[in-house]
């Protein structure tokens, strides 16, 4: 049983957190058979936390989790904070495989997406 | 003469700002004939500022600029701060067309990009 956990920073502005929850539903619809479950978690300021998000998946029977950081740059959050939170849960459930994927901004296709966004308004 | 200006938040961490500059070069290579110039600017903490980035393009002869916010959520920066900075320059150069495109996170294809990132580590 495989799951995808989208990890965002979290915001004081609840509408931004809801944007992540909407995105998570959209990813779940697109994920097809590759992931049985898709959920989200937040580094700070919103719920669930990363450890709680991971534990909820594990309690639902998931044994293989891929964490994708919804971040644009490789700062401290991506390099240290997210792996640190994941390690907490790895220690609790040594039989569950948890991998951290490259952050969103590392995807080469981001370049095409920027051009695509520009073309929506450029005549 | 059309240009694309990628606007990022800016960081105290210079490596993050350099990530944006590298991305800008990659977008320039991909943009082909749709934009004669592609450059970047920062809302804060890094140079050039948004007004300076726009002015540099205009001084180079650009008459049509599309600004793309390199942001993941529709917070105050996207809704108010970036349009406010753009308006400053619109007032200075009424004959230059400056449009603000939807921010990166608003692109539907972000869902596929997240799944793609997950698949780079998921067996």
Q: Which domain holds residue B24?
A: 2-119
State the DSSP string of A26-82. HHHHHHTTS-SEEEEEESSSSSSBHHHHHHHHHHTT--EEEEEE--SS-SHIIIIIH
CA-to-CA dists, residue A47 to A90, B57, B58, angstroms: 20, 43, 45
pLDDT in tens, A3-44: 999 999 999 999 999 999 999 999 999 998 889 999 999 999
CA angle A107, A112, A116 (to 5 degrees): 135
Give tens-digit pLDDT for A44-101.
999 999 999 999 999 999 999 999 999 998 888 999 999 999 999 999 999 999 999 9
CB B7 within 8 A of CB B65: no
Contacts of A109 in chain B (CB under 8 A): 109, 113, 116
Interface test with A, best of B29, B115, B123 (most A CBs within 10 A): B115
Q: Residue A28: what pLDDT?
A: 96
Instruction: Tell me: ipTM over 0.85.
Output: yes
Burial B88-105 (b: 16+ CB within 10 A, else e): ebeeeeeebebebbbbbb
Q: How far is B97 from chain A (nearest CA, A)?
A: 10
How far is A1 from chain B, CA to nearest CA, in Å? 12
Residues of B in contact with A113 (CB under 8 A): 104, 107, 109-110, 113
Using CB atoms, which residue from A27, A73, A122 is nearest to B114? A27
CB nearest A104 (choices: B30, B99, B117): B117
**Among all chains, which residue has been given the structure tokens 């991909």?**
B30
Q: How many domains does chain A have?
A: 1
> Whole-prediction pTM value?
0.91
CATH assignment at residue A83:
3.40.50.1400
Spell out which residues of chain A touch residue B118, defining contact as CB-CB under 8 Å.
Answer: 4, 34-35, 66, 68, 101
The continuous run of DSSP H or E covering B62 comes out as none
Residues of chain B short of pLDDT 70, as ranges, are 123
Predicted local distance difference test score (pLDDT) of residue B122: 74
Enumerate the residues of chain B whose CB falls inside 8 A of the CB of residue A8.
72
Tell me the per-residue pLDDT of B5-14, one tens digit each, with 9 for 90 and over: 999 999 999 9
The Cα of B9 is separated from the nearest Cα of chain A by a number of Å equal to 10
Neighbours of B48 (CB within 10 A): 15
Q: Find, in chain A, the residue whose alpha carbon is nearest to that of B102.
A: A117
From residue A35, alpha-carbon distances to A48, A68, B114 in Å are 20, 13, 12
Q: How many CB atoms lie within 10 A of CB B35?
A: 24
A92: tokens are 């609790």
Whether the CB-CB separation of B38 and B45 falls below 8 Å is answered with: no
pLDDT for position B123:
59
């Amino acid at each position: 049983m495989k799951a995808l956990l989208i990890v965002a920073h979290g915001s004081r502005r609840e509408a931004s957190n809801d944007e992540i929850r909407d995105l998570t539903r959209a990813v779940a619809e697109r994920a097809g058979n590759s992931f049985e479950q898709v959920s989200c978690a937040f580094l700070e300021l919103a719920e669930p936390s990363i450890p709680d998000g991971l534990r909820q998946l594990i309690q639902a029977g998931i044994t293989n989790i891929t964490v994708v950081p919804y971040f644009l740059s490789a700062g401290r959050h991506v390099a240290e904070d997210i792996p640190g939170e994941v390690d907490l849960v790895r220690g609790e459930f040594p039989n569950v495989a948890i991998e951290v994927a490259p952050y969103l901004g590392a995807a080469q296709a981001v370049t095409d997406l920027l051009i695509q966004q520009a073309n929506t308004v450029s005549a």
